[in-house]
Amino acid sequence: MTEPFSVRLEVRSYEIDPQLHLNGGFYIQYADHARFACVQAAGVSIENLLGSGVGPVNLETVIKYHRELRGGDQVDVSCAWEWGSGKTYRVHHQLRHSDGTVAAQVSHVSGLLDIKTRRLVADPEHEWRIRADRPELLGLKPNR
């Protein structure tokens, strides 16, 4: 198995809270940024996805904090997808200091929403696969 997709970010001064560490809401934003970058790297056009009438939604988000991130820290945010057989899938992110120490984990239960019916798409794995040039970045087997 290959390493999960990852992006490096720097904790900016306006993202820190009065205790001088990264504000909790930014952990979710970092995860969202990594997931969007992963989708783009996989060759999926979000504009085309939305234009086809479906869009990604997060149904649950869990953050586990391990080590604080402070202003100026470099953080690597990974993105690993987990597929099952239903209408939802999971995306796991690890936020690591540049020395590899885990700072936090962010996990989502997600799905694809049919924008017209406001219901989850029955087979989100298929919808992502047919749009991806590099489906392996989304944890999917390559297209045939």
Q: For residue 96, which amino acid is it?
A: R
Question: What is the chain's pLDDT, residue by residue, as a tens digit (144 residues)?
Answer: 467 999 999 999 999 999 999 999 999 999 999 999 999 999 999 999 999 999 999 999 999 999 999 999 999 999 999 999 999 999 999 999 999 999 999 999 999 999 999 999 999 999 999 999 999 999 998 766
Q: What's this model's pTM, rounded to 2 decimal places?
A: 0.93
**Three-state DSSP state, 14:** helix
State both tokens at 65: 């904090």
State both tokens at 83: 């597929």
Q: CA 40, 44, 48, 54 torsion: positive or negative?
A: negative
Backbone angles phi, psi at 29, to 5 degrees: -65, -40
Neighbour count for residue 49 (Cβ, 10 Å): 17
Determine how β-strand 5-10 pairs with β-strand 102-114.
Answer: unpaired
